[in-house]
């Protein structure tokens, strides 16, 4: 294509980056023909852009050298790596026009051996994600959605509406698009930060984490903004849990989709067919246990995971839903102090989120 007049601009780019892009496209089409993913989508210029460089790049403390880019680009390091360990480099431009470089680094360490899966309730946890609370754990810990996130989600919605009213191709539309992108960042950055903290605390605290497989296809067809943001957060949350567990030798068990996780009594197995979505609590007609909807679901998730691994369900504290002394909150509080000393921007928001988190963990359980 480079030989053709109309594609002459391709010569401006590093040839290896072009090859990488072709490989990505090839991969996307192969996945499509294997029916494991959708038809490759056209990538808009205004959306996130990225290219990879497999070789011939270099960097020192503050300058990045890329092929065909002359005398180097000033950069700010978030971490320090030696060039020898870096295998590949990706340059990304966000919709708001910020540039990031991410590196694939071989740390020369072995993947740690997995700790044994046990049915010790102190080591094994089931997680139920929901719209009301971000996540509920089988030991009774509730992790609420931080309030500031809900506020910026409202703002995002109104700005998206503004954008949809602007004329296609107009300058005003470009401006509105940038506003939406910026608001989107304001929603996703703190949210990612929140998900990182929660997932780190959980993987540190527990040896085995049982989760449901998310039905992403069903979620994509959902048009509510709150739900689409939530579903994106859940899959990110589960992704973080998986890679962090991998790095620490912890276990993540995925149990598939468990449709009746809230309706099934975790004590006797009775299924409450009449349970409605608004019912936060219910009493089992077979064994008379008072069940909290979400904790019950989380316990069911945990026990199914154990069953799939050939282990008995955990018999302790059945039916008793007392607020637990919250190790996660303490863990998160410790992290807040550390985060506060390195970052300055979202510190106040973070504090607020943590306070909210504290309020919504444990305290809301009856
Ligand atoms: Zn029961």
Mean pLDDT calculated for residue range 143-148: 76
Give residue-wise pLDDT tens across range 158-177: 888 988 898 888 889 989 98
Q: How remote is the CA of residue 272 from the centroid of ligand 1, in Å?
A: 9
Q: How remote is the CA of residue 137 from the centroid of ligand 1, in Å?
A: 20
pLDDT at residue 222 is higher than 70:
no
Q: How remote is the CA of residue 62 from the centroid of ligand 1, in Å?
A: 62
DSSP β-bridge partners for residue 251: 208
- Between residues 335 and 103, the one the model is more confident about: 103
CB 207 within 8 Å of CB 117: yes
Mean of the per-residue pLDDT values for the chain? 81
Out of 128, 153, 207, 303, which one is annotated catalytic?
128
Spatial distance between the Cα atoms of 173 and 185, rounded to a whole number of angstroms? 18
pLDDT of 323: 42
Spatial distance between the Cα atoms of 121 and 305, rounded to a whole number of angstroms? 13
Q: How remote is the CA of residue 268 from the centroid of ligand 1, in Å?
A: 4
pLDDT-above-90 percentage for the chain: 35
Q: Is 319 left (phi over 0), alpha (psi -120 to 50) or beta?
A: left
Mean pLDDT calculated for residue range 147-163: 80
Spatial distance between the Cα atoms of 137 and 327, rounded to a whole number of angstroms? 12
- Between residues 358 and 177, the one the model is more confident about: 177
Q: How remote is the CA of residue 196 from the centroid of ligand 1, in Å?
A: 36
Q: How remote is the CA of residue 121 from the centroid of ligand 1, in Å?
A: 20
Give residue-wise pLDDT tens across range 295-329: 899 999 999 999 999 988 876 555 444 444 455 55
Spatial distance between the Cα atoms of 306 and 7, rounded to a whole number of angstroms? 57
Q: How remote is the CA of residue 214 from the centroid of ligand 1, in Å?
A: 26
Distances (CA, A) of 65 to 11, 21, 70, 230, 317: 18, 20, 8, 39, 59
Q: How remote is the CA of residue 288 from the centroid of ligand 1, in Å?
A: 6
pLDDT at residue 5 is higher than 90:
yes
Tally of CB atoms within 10 A around 2: 11
From the list 4, 36, 16, 57, the residue with the least C-alpha distance to 216 is 36
Question: What's CA 142's distance to the chain center, in Å?
Answer: 18
Out of 153, 212, 303, 350, which one is annotated catalytic?
212
Q: How remote is the CA of residue 318 from the centroid of ligand 1, in Å?
A: 10
26 a catalytic residue: no
Q: How remote is the CA of residue 133 from the centroid of ligand 1, in Å?
A: 24
pLDDT of 57: 92
pLDDT at residue 109 is higher than 70:
yes
12 a catalytic residue: no
Out of 153, 207, 294, 303, which one is annotated catalytic?
294
Q: How confident is the model at residue 19 (pLDDT cuts 50, 70, 90)?
A: very high
325 a catalytic residue: no
pLDDT of 332: 54
- Between residues 65 and 79, the one the model is more confident about: 65
Distances (CA, A) of 267 to 3, 288, 366: 71, 10, 18
Strands 290-292 and 281-283: antiparallel
**Relative orientation angle of helices 327-342 and 171-205, to the nearest 10 degrees:** 130
């Amino acid at each position: 294509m480079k030989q053709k007049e109309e594609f002459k601009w391709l010569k401006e780019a590093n040839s290896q980056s072009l090859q990488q892009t072709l490989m990505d496209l090839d991969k996307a089409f192969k996945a499509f023909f294997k029916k494991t993913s959708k038809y490759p989508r056209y990538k808009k210029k205004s959306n996130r852009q990225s290219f990879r460089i497999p070789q011939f790049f270099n960097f020192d403390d503050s300058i990045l050298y890329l092929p065909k880019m002359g005398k180097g680009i000033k950069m700010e390091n978030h971490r320090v790596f030696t060039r020898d360990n870096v295998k590949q480099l990706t340059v990304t431009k966000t919709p708001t026009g910020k540039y990031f470089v991410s590196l694939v680094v071989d740390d020369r360490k072995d993947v740690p051996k997995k700790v044994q899966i046990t049915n010790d309730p102190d080591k094994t946890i089931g997680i139920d994600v929901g719209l009301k609370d971000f996540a509920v754990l089988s030991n009774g810990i509730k992790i609420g959605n931080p309030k500031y996130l809900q506020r910026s989600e409202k703002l995002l919605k109104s700005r998206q509406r503004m954008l949809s009213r602007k004329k296609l191709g107009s300058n005003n539309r470009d401006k509105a698009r940038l506003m939406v992108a910026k608001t989107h960042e304001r929603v996703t950055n703190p949210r990612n930060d929140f998900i990182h903290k929660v997932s780190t605390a959980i993987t540190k605290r527990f040896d085995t984490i049982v989760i449901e497989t998310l039905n992403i296809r069903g979620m994509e067809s959902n048009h509510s903004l709150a739900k689409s943001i939530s579903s994106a957060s859940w899959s990110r949350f589960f992704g973080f849990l998986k890679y962090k567990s991998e790095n620490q030798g912890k276990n993540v068990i995925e149990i598939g989709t468990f449709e009746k996780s809230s309706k099934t009594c975790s004590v006797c197995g009775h299924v409450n067919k009449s349970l409605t979505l608004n019912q936060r609590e219910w009493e089992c007609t077979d064994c008379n246990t008072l069940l909290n909807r979400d904790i019950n679901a989380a316990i069911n998730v945990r026990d199914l995971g154990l069953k799939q691994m050939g282990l008995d369900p955990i018999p302790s504290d059945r039916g008793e839903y007392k607020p637990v002394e919250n190790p996660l909150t303490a863990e998160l509080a410790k992290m807040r102090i550390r985060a506060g000393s390195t970052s300055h921007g979202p510190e106040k928001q973070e504090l607020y989120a943590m306070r909210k988190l504290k309020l919504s963990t444990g305290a809301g359980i009856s």
